[in-house]
Amino acid sequence: MEHSVVMKFGGSSVESIEKMQAIAQRIIKKKSEFRHVVVVVSAMGKTTNQLLALAKQAAKYPSKREIDMLISTGEQVSISLLTMILNELGEQAIALTGFQAGIKTSGLHTKNKILDIDISKIENYLNTNHLVVVAGFQGLNEQGDITTLGRGGSDTTAVALAAKLGCTAEIYTDVDGIYGVDPRLYPEAKKLDVITYEEMKEMAFLGAKVMEPRSIEIGQRYKVPIYVASSQNNHTGTLIKEYTKVEEKSITGLSISEKVMMVTIMNFSARSSDIATLFVALAENEVNVDMISQTPAGEGLINLAFTAGADDLEAINEVLEKITARYEGLDVIKNMNVVKISVVGTGMRTQSGVAAELFKLLADHQIEFRLVTTSEISISYTIDKKHMKKTVEVISSHFGL
Amino acid sequence: MEHSVVMKFGGSSVESIEKMQAIAQRIIKKKSEFRHVVVVVSAMGKTTNQLLALAKQAAKYPSKREIDMLISTGEQVSISLLTMILNELGEQAIALTGFQAGIKTSGLHTKNKILDIDISKIENYLNTNHLVVVAGFQGLNEQGDITTLGRGGSDTTAVALAAKLGCTAEIYTDVDGIYGVDPRLYPEAKKLDVITYEEMKEMAFLGAKVMEPRSIEIGQRYKVPIYVASSQNNHTGTLIKEYTKVEEKSITGLSISEKVMMVTIMNFSARSSDIATLFVALAENEVNVDMISQTPAGEGLINLAFTAGADDLEAINEVLEKITARYEGLDVIKNMNVVKISVVGTGMRTQSGVAAELFKLLADHQIEFRLVTTSEISISYTIDKKHMKKTVEVISSHFGL
């Protein structure tokens, strides 16, 4: 629909009636700029966690279908209250739960995906000049069961609605927008005016926590511009959009994963069946292996290194015990004092030499790295924890992040 | 469906996880006696009032459609938790909200009536051996809006479901069953094993607060036996059912309304247009007039008496001021020291002399009454407050209540 916009407010933006009243003013202002405004809200503050705690009290293994039914009440409460406030301020507002908004989902309970949205009811309300307030995070599956969309589900709802309406999704949150580097690590960090879906997806997967990758993916697939800004002030935020060559920067952002450990196994068998044995065992023990690197080490042998989450130490130890029992002569080194630094930029794809520029930069500053992996638009390094601050500063200042 | 039963538990029976766990045991026991068990529950404890307080905080005049959406979350939470508990105990239980249970309503928001129930989903679950847990108090109207059924709405849900399934509705509550007289007024009061729908309706309207008249009416219309018992113990409760001559008692129950006032106007005009003026003025001032009595008082004049709620004193005074200003020579007496005693019994309809027996009984004990009104199955008296205890004792012991 023309002249439409979707605004999304997260849990902390609607944690009290007072905050909702402030949000209501922003919504009314937006309504003076756009013909059609759809608002998506999350549950108030910590409501979802409180409901989950109640479920845990009711049952050791609460049935997932009923968890969805239980936690979906959180958004139903917040859309009801926000709509009352808007109506009291003289607006014609209407609250719609997931099923009323036509949001059809499929998948496992507590982790559903949006299958489709029957937008007709929302369009009818918009055409009769209503402000439509939709419950984020929830929908209805084909069996008619209430479902929820998992972490970041309200973002997904907002972007999917914007896709259907052919408009921008505005995500209002605790932060002012998206930064190339975490300002807590590099105080001079600059807020980005624009970032591409691809860069944002890499950033999200790599540890930047502003938005869930899933909603970015939907935005990318349906070409929905996503605008991320603060719900507390009127500073300009960041627009997530399609790649255009004109705006290309070689490097857009840098992200850090601190809870990382690195395992090196010396003199491991070079046979692929043996390598597979190791990684299958890790997977079966639910270890999420991230970076992998191997180098030759004499006849039929390799040195093999990989990184995983530091939380997985126990699970990794179990696997390593079995492996060292099975294969003789291994030398295993675990290093907990590492971090992973990832550098992202769509420009890497077309601008040659970005990787080389980075290697030289680190060398010039005597920063050693232990592992390197690359994707089409990113490079990740494992470095010693003690070099973290220096590395962030060097890269950020060199590339003007 | 054959071998079915509907059990309903109110808010205080499910106010905590512990109480729900106790309820779950009763439900599982019932499942061993019946093939199909449907459970209807209210919101936990004071949840509905807390949600209404939140609405009042959000808006001075919260929109009613959103009030319904807001408070309906209360039952959604309790059915989710109770179902998790039942599932954890090894049952195959499923929670259904009002719309999922096919409960179709119409009317004003916050005061909807059940129009029909599409029972097919519930039947499917019952036929696959599920314990079905349904949210009381709520439904969906023709516009697809969530609605609530007003005071006592969960009772209505239970009785309407029992009507559709052709089975008994068991209402578990704070009291052991229905008493002919309030045990606080007459400690020897007997619990009734059986009471007719009609008697129950009179009792409910007249002040006994166990069940809402609306659910009794549905029970009567669809011949649903309603069994009222305690959720805390296993004492035998009271069965509300159709009138059968065999079990007829002349008087089944006695109820008291204490917050009553009586107004007597002496020498009022006997013209019906003047009498109408008075009662229209009272109605416009929202005074709920209950008993009315008039007697001649000389040429073209009457003495007129009526009772109303003691809360209406201020509104009554306003009307009386206008009336005494308009008509000269009136003598107005307000009496706050009265109570209304109502005696109910289907037997009155066929057994002549019940009224006479009552009049004689009161006369024998020097109990004067000020106003009398009668219906087909009830007689109500206004008596002085000081005679209340004695009157209750005399009637209760004479008729074995």
> What confidence tier does A59 reach under pLDDT thresholds 50, 70, 90?
very high
A80/B61 CB distance under 8 A: no
Bridge pairing between strands B238-241 and B194-196: parallel
Bridge pairing between strands A113-117 and A103-106: antiparallel
Q: What are B's interface residues with A at a Cβ cutoff of 8 A?
A: 17, 20, 51, 54-55, 57-63, 65-67, 69-70, 72-73, 76-77, 79-85, 87-88, 94-95, 97, 99-100, 121, 144-146
> What confidence tier does A201 reach under pLDDT thresholds 50, 70, 90?
confident
Q: Which of B23, B81, B118 to mutate to test the interface with A (most CBs of A within 10 A)?
A: B81
Question: Does the pLDDT of residue A294 top 90, yes or no?
Answer: no
First-to-last alpha carbon distance for chain B, in angstroms, is 37
B69/A79 CB distance under 8 A: yes
Which of A57-66, A391-400, B171-180, B373-382 has the highest average model confidence (pLDDT)? A57-66
Residue A199's pLDDT is: 86
For B69, the closest of A70, A76, A121 (CB atoms) is: A76
CATH of B4-173, one of 3.60.110.10, 3.40.1160.10, 3.40.50.300, 3.40.190.10: 3.40.1160.10
Q: What average pLDDT does this structure show over A1-24?
A: 94
What pairs with residue B106 in β-bridges?
B113
Residues 6+ away with beta carbon under 8 Å from A11: A42, A43, A44, A45, A46, A47, A48
How far apart are alpha carbons A237 and A193 in whole angstroms? 7
Cα–Cα distances in Å, from B127 out to A365, B3, B38?
A: 73, 12, 12
Other beta carbons within 10 angstroms of residue B372's beta carbon come to 14
Tell me the pLDDT tens digit for each residue of A295-339. Answer: 788 788 888 889 999 989 999 999 999 999 998 889 999 999 999
Other beta carbons within 10 angstroms of residue A64's beta carbon come to 16
Question: In this predicted structure, which of A4-18, A177-191, A329-343 has the lowest mean pLDDT?
Answer: A177-191
How far apart are alpha carbons B281 and B279 in whole angstroms? 5
Cα–Cα distances in Å, from A51 out to A55, A69, A75?
A: 6, 11, 12
B62/A84 CB distance under 8 A: yes
Give me the CATH code for the A254-399 domain, please.
Answer: 3.30.2130.10
Tell me the pLDDT tens digit for each residue of B39-56. Answer: 999 999 999 999 999 999
Query: Token digits for A376?
Result: 């089409």
Percent of chain A with pLDDT over 70: 96
pLDDT truncated to tens, each residue of chain B (401 aa)? 779 999 999 999 999 999 999 999 999 999 999 999 999 999 999 999 999 999 999 999 999 999 999 999 999 999 999 999 999 999 999 999 999 999 999 999 999 999 999 999 999 999 999 999 999 999 999 999 999 998 889 999 999 999 999 999 999 998 888 888 888 888 888 888 999 998 888 876 655 667 878 899 999 999 999 999 999 899 999 999 987 765 566 788 888 888 899 999 988 988 888 888 898 888 888 888 888 887 788 788 888 889 998 989 999 999 999 999 998 889 999 999 999 998 888 777 766 677 778 888 888 898 888 888 877 788 888 999 999 999 999 999 888 88
Give the ranges where B270-353 is alpha helix by DSSP (H): 272-284, 313-326
For A73, the closest of B59, B73, B87 (CB atoms) is: B73
Residue B295's pLDDT is: 79
Bridge pairing between strands A131-135 and A36-41: parallel
Residue B183's pLDDT is: 80
pTM of the predicted protein model: 0.80
**Single-letter code of the amino acid located at B368:** E
CA B34 to chain centroid:
29
Q: Which of B15, B51, B69 to mutate to test the interface with A (most CBs of A within 10 A)?
A: B69
3-state secondary structure of A128: coil
Residue A119's pLDDT is: 97
Q: What average pLDDT does this structure show over A168-179?
A: 91
Question: Does the pLDDT of residue A247 top 60, yes or no?
Answer: no
Q: Cβ contacts (< 8 Å) between B60 and chain A: which residues? A: 88
Residue B180's pLDDT is: 83
Q: Cβ contacts (< 8 Å) between B76 and chain A: which residues? A: 69-70, 72-73, 76
**Percentage helix, strand, coil for chain B under 3-state DSSP, each rounded to 5:** 40, 30, 30
Q: Cβ contacts (< 8 Å) between B83 and chain A: which residues? A: 63, 66
Q: Cβ contacts (< 8 Å) between B19 and chain A: which residues? A: none
Residue B292's pLDDT is: 85
The domains of chain A are located at 4-173, 254-399
How far apart are alpha carbons A277 and A287 in whole angstroms? 14
B70/A88 CB distance under 8 A: no
Q: What average pLDDT does this structure show over A137-163?
A: 95
How far apart are alpha carbons A253 and B247 in whole angstroms? 85
A100, closest residue in chain B (CA to CA):
B144
Which of A95-104, A284-293, B205-214 has the highest average model confidence (pLDDT)? A95-104
Residue B213's pLDDT is: 81
B66/A95 CB distance under 8 A: yes
Q: What average pLDDT does this structure show over A232-251?
A: 81
Residue A243 or B145, more confident: B145
Q: Which residue has the tokens 């991230």?
A: A290
ipTM: 0.78
Residue A245's pLDDT is: 62
| CB contacts < 8 A (A, B) | 115
3-state secondary structure of A358: helix
* DSSP category for residue B355: H
Cα–Cα distances in Å, from B394 out to B180, B381, B390?
A: 14, 14, 6
Q: What average pLDDT does this structure show over A192-215?
A: 79
Query: Token digits for B372?
Result: 């009398």
Question: Does the pLDDT of residue A24 top 60, yes or no?
Answer: yes
